[in-house]
Structure 1
Amino acid sequence: MANHPPYNNYPDIGNTGEDLVAQWLKSQGWVILHRRWRCRWGEIDIIAQDGGVAKNGVMGRLGDGENSNLTPSPILAFVEVKTRSPSNWDAGGRNAIALQKQVKLWRAAQMFLVKHPQMADYPCRFDVAIVSCQQISTQFTAVKVIEKSLADYSTAAYRLTLQEYIPAAFELANDNGE
């Protein structure tokens, strides 16, 4: 059995990516209602609320299929955060939001609304945040050009970059994804 260093020597990069996205959402005027909300269907990374007039891409109550583009009620965003290294296998996490994952998120969001009936009539959407994580070299090797990002965060060992925030990344008509 390998002798691994204590857990706290290796920061949880996924959680750090979620922290970065939560801070960015707050800077955009969103209120973070829950982090890592869990139910039997899975976990929702971030649940955020934005007041004001609903925007394009926002659907009505989960399951009714109505579009509420002019409803002046708060918007709920169920945010899935994907934190990946630059040379990953799944297009920065985009390919990890397959139909099966979307259905799990949909069901978890429905469970959230059942447990919080005061929000059941809010327009809801599913957002995806793509965070790039790069290990910081202790040796200078070359100058790297950094793409424009929405937000950045650095630890002693890693640099995280919020590369893309996709509002209303997907919609499902029902539990079967039809």
Structure 2
Amino acid sequence: MYEVGGEPLPKRTSLQDTGEAGEAWVRQYLEEQGWQILAQQWRCRWGELDLVAARAGELIFVEVKTRSGEGWDQKGLLAVGIQKQRRLIRAAQAFLSQHPDLAELACRFDVVLVEQQPAKEGVSYALADYLQGAFELWE
């Protein structure tokens, strides 16, 4: 394990709780698929990488978007526009510069859309879409 977490945010919001719960759900999902989680909520000056995972010579940078309904942004997909992609690319480059042993692995960006659903006891989470290789690492 490389790094988990960062500085806690001073004030929590329900959106932050929803996002973190969605990330935890995706983390478990990836681990069940055989991925080793190397970092979660890894932060640098350019932004945050929700999850970084490795498996069989591959490295993935995973952006998780959790929504409670369809909403205006297509379950979170529109929130990963060009500007967000650029920030994620720069953050990934910073991560790789800090972990040069991982720089030779095949890298890709995945975007995972998670849907929060009401359940008998609280809420549950479901995979709305998994976009493997959603955009290119190097511009």
Q: Where does residue 98 of structure 2 map in the other structure?
A: 115
Aligned-pair distance for 1:8? Answer: 9.6
Q: Where does residue 75 of structure 2 map in the other structure?
A: 92
1:163 to 122, 128, 131: 128
More strand by share: 2
Q: Is the 8 A contact 1:75 1:123 kept in 2?
A: yes
CA RMSD of aligned residues (A): 2.2
Going from structure 1 to structure 2, the CA distance change for 1:76 and 1:11 (only over 3 Å counts) comes to: closer
Q: Paired residues, what number? A: 129
Give me the whole-angstrom Cα distance separating, in 1, the residues matched to 2:29 and 2:68: 20
Give me the whole-angstrom Cα distance separating, in 1, the residues matched to 2:14 and 2:89: 35
Q: Secondary structure at the match of 1:121?
A: coil
1:38 to 36, 43, 49: 43
Q: Is the 8 A contact 2:53 2:61 kept in 1?
A: yes
Aligned-pair distance for 1:85? Answer: 1.4
Letter in 2 for 1:30: W
* Unaligned 5+ runs, structure 1: 1-6, 52-73, 139-155
Give me the whole-angstrom Cα distance separating, in 2, the residues matched to 1:39 and 1:8: 22
Q: Secondary structure at the match of 1:167?
A: strand
Letter in 1 for 2:110: D
Q: Secondary structure at the match of 1:79?
A: strand
User: Which entry has the higher C-alpha Rg, 1 or 2?
Assistant: 1
Q: Is the 8 A contact 1:20 1:162 kept in 2?
A: no
More helix by share: 2
Q: Where does residue 118 of structure 2 map in the other structure?
A: 135
Letter in 1 for 2:29: W
TM-score by length of 2: 0.85
